[in-house]
Structure 1
Amino acid sequence: MLDSTATPLKTLLRRRKPGYSLEAPFYTSPEIFAADMDVIFGHHWLFVGVDPDIPEPGDAMTLNIGKASIFLVRDDDGEVRAFHNVCRHRGAPIVHDYKTTVGNLVCRYHSWTYGLDGKLLAASHMGEDFDASCHGLKPVHVRSLEGLLFVCLADEPPEDFEVMAAKMAPYLAPHDLKNAKVAFEKDIIEPGNWKLTMENNRECYHCAGNHPELTVPLFAYGFGFAPEELDEHERKEAEDYDKLLKASHREWESCGFPSTLMEHLDDMATGFRTERLPLAGDGESHTNDTKAACKKLLGRINDPKHGALHFWTQPNSWHHFMSDHAVVFSVLPLDAERSLLRTKWLVHKDAVEGVDYTIENLTGVWDATNDQDSELVGYCQDGARSPAYEPGPYSPHTEMLVDKFCNWYVNRMTAHLGR
């Protein structure tokens, strides 16, 4: 709860006005941030990486989710496992590097040794009565959805992940991320609350004036518009886009690429949205010239003009899958007013840098967009601190998905905390 001088969190949740942004404490309060980490990041499925982050047995990757340090490791059978990064002896971390390769998992402090399945294999000087079977590493729930890795810290994670996975697998499978590689990744610290980072992503109202690189391959009409504000020429363009979208969906689905809109952003615990959209210009990829960034296409795709599939998940990710590469994003809160945005660019595992792709061309659009968005998030964080701030109305034409993110957040917090 908030301190005695502040409005209680339950009261703020109850009085949230649909169609409006959240009240300032949701973006600034350390107490609400702590509740977010408990309820949202402690009890829901979180996107944290991709199968190619740990492609071989013994490969491991660490990350922090609030106060929880965890690591993912591929075991000898090729399965991905996740554990709390805490030795069962005195609590020292087992894995210290962001990415590494191990044989067994050995604590640096007293050499307690664990297998890749988390079982304690060796612990010297512990006496005859010591039962090693009771001191294995504490597991974390982990799932791979066609190469996208999700974890949940709760003892009992939301069961509807399997519903999402069943619906999304046919959309993602053609891109075959398990046979891709991470060509480049980059972390930036956004100067804003994690919800502001997610809200900014959930709309393109701001795109035309702030993202010159991103908007090159995008159709303006793919992100909402106000029909009553269009002149005759613009109305014709919108109608043409609608026809193109429907024709593209028919063509792509006839080739085995599910494409039509599927949206469950605020009616599931594991909220998500997906749709495959056509690209403007030469229409091949998210690049400055809209041409494919990599000569080797992903998976079983044989035509670079299969559009761009987007996939969003609540509470912390968005992704773009093109014919030639994929870009995946995760948001991990650091404190009430800072968030880690981690972006990874993936290409076919056999693609050769300098021959099939260049890092500059591959990353140019989203690297610039991330920096621009980070600045915008900072502006909103500055505004939320002002005593003049009050919740403002969302555009019903271009910010409806921001509203759904806030609906999801309020509903999940309320369900956990009770009214």
Structure 2
Amino acid sequence: MSSWLPREIEAQREALQQVLLPIAEARGLPNAAYTSESFAAVECDQVLARGWTCIGVGRWVPQPGDLRPVRLLGLPLLMLRDAAGGLKVFHNVCSHRGLELVATPGRSKGLIRCPYHSWSYDLDGNLKATPFVGGPGTRDCPGFDRTRHGLKPVRSAVWCDAVFVDLSGEAEDFETFIAPLAERWGAFDGSRLRHGGADSAFTIEVACNWKLAVENYCEAYHLPWIHPSLNQYSRLEDHYNIAVEGHMAGQGSTAYRPTLSDDGRAFPEHPDLPETWRGAAEYLALFPNVLFGIHADHFYTVVLEPLGPDRTREHFEIYYFGEAALGDDLADLRAANTHQWRGIFEEDRGVVEGMQAGRASPAFRGGVFSPAMDGPTHCFHQWMAGRLLT
């Protein structure tokens, strides 16, 4: 453990150490972890910027030249699709005077032009044009080397269309990071994923800290009371906990059998799945901030975008296994599937916002965990406390 910690974390050292205790003895993260601006700033540096954090999905930049500005706790980043179809991430700032380079999603025909002084970059981040840099009518000046002033790249990786960045440049190899999840879901071929289109995406903004969205997603304990319709066919008794030592946790169901159509139509399933996946589903949070759901007939990603200590934007994207699911004949089923998932996540709004409100109370000191039901949530809390204390 480091001998030096930021003041905000040092003040919470005892509370964070209690999180690391065995589940029957542990408390949850302290209130400041959900309410404090200064704590959030340290959390950004010590958690979100020190490992692989999800910032979006490749579907947001589908064609060469597509540009999408994104933010990670205020830090401006730029996702783009290069001329060869590769996905790249850069710091979204002009090298000249620091203007945010791209303010809205769009498409470049080859160059990304800064609106301030018209410095321009290609899709590989190279600085290509510097008009009047040496005075009116010039493009160069003595001693100025364009190759040193391109866009600053961000280490990035893509898995099942989810885009991850390592702002520190010092995190473990992405293959090592993603291995536990990739191996667990190894029966599924990610290359088969096809996004469902405009009717298969939505965004919800909730008045809670992003960590509460993770915690709520990890556990099935709340199903009977918060999701009564879901609990009718996928009961609490049909769910199991997934608490993996490391950086993921969640839940699974052995009874995922929703009915989206009265005429027997259904989405095509992923081929050659083991029988154990028929009617099954798993829902995993990959720490810190991305949620995945997998079923025999569809897959989804939820990117949690922290907007501040008490606000989170949830970007929900639904994918299917192959082109056959994208036809007009299944458009109503795709819309119904999206409607169903949006309804489930909206049902969670009251509890995550209520927990946020409760974090203002000095009477709440992290709460307690049920050893039988809260293992995944405790797993997340331990991971967070460990990252903050090292």
Please state how far the C-alpha of 1:294 moved relative to its aligned partner.
5.7
Residue 162 (str. 1) matches residue 162 (str. 2):
no
Report the CA distance shift for 1:11/1:344 in structure 2 as closer, same or farther (over 3 A): same
Give ranges in structure 2 of 5+ residues lacking alignment. Answer: 1-5, 134-140
Report the CA distance shift for 1:373/1:112 in structure 2 as closer, same or farther (over 3 A): same
Q: Write out aligned runs for 1:2-401 (5 A).
A: 8-16=11-19, 18=21, 19-97=26-104, 99-103=105-109, 104-126=111-133, 127-159=141-173, 161-169=174-182, 171=185, 173-176=188-191, 179-183=194-198, 184-224=200-240, 264=244, 266-267=245-246, 271-273=247-249, 277-280=253-256, 283=257, 295-297=267-269, 305=278, 307-347=280-320, 348-349=322-323, 351-352=325-326, 354-358=328-332, 359-401=334-376
Report the CA distance shift for 1:200/1:14 in structure 2 as closer, same or farther (over 3 A): same
Kept in 2: contact 1:52–1:178 (CA 8 A): no
**Partner secondary structure for residue 357 of structure 1:** helix
Kept in 1: contact 2:234–2:255 (CA 8 A): yes
Please state how far the C-alpha of 1:394 moved relative to its aligned partner.
0.8
Kept in 1: contact 2:205–2:312 (CA 8 A): yes
Report the CA distance shift for 1:318/1:214 in structure 2 as closer, same or farther (over 3 A): farther
Report the CA distance shift for 1:311/1:12 in structure 2 as closer, same or farther (over 3 A): closer
Percent same amino acid at aligned positions?
Answer: 25
Please state how far the C-alpha of 1:371 moved relative to its aligned partner.
1.2
Please state how far the C-alpha of 1:220 moved relative to its aligned partner.
2.1
Please state how far the C-alpha of 1:321 moved relative to its aligned partner.
2.2
Please report the TM-score for the alignment, with normalisation by the length of structure 2: 0.83
Give ranges in structure 1 of 5+ residues lacking alignment. Answer: 226-260
Please state how far the C-alpha of 1:11 moved relative to its aligned partner.
4.0
Aligned length: 367
Q: Distance in 1 between matches of 2:232 and 2:367?
A: 30
RMSD of the TM alignment (CA)?
A: 3.1
**Partner secondary structure for residue 46 of structure 2:** helix
Q: Report the residue type matching 1:200 in the other structure.
A: N
Q: Report the residue type matching 2:114 in the other structure.
A: C
Q: Write out aligned runs for 1:399-414 (5 A).
A: 399-414=374-389
Please report the TM-score for the alignment, with normalisation by the length of structure 1: 0.78
**Partner secondary structure for residue 61 of structure 1:** strand
**Partner secondary structure for residue 237 of structure 2:** helix
Please state how far the C-alpha of 1:78 moved relative to its aligned partner.
2.0
Q: Distance in 1 between matches of 2:312 and 2:265?
A: 29
For residue 254 of structure 1, what is the aligned residue in structure 2? none
Please state how far the C-alpha of 1:391 moved relative to its aligned partner.
2.6
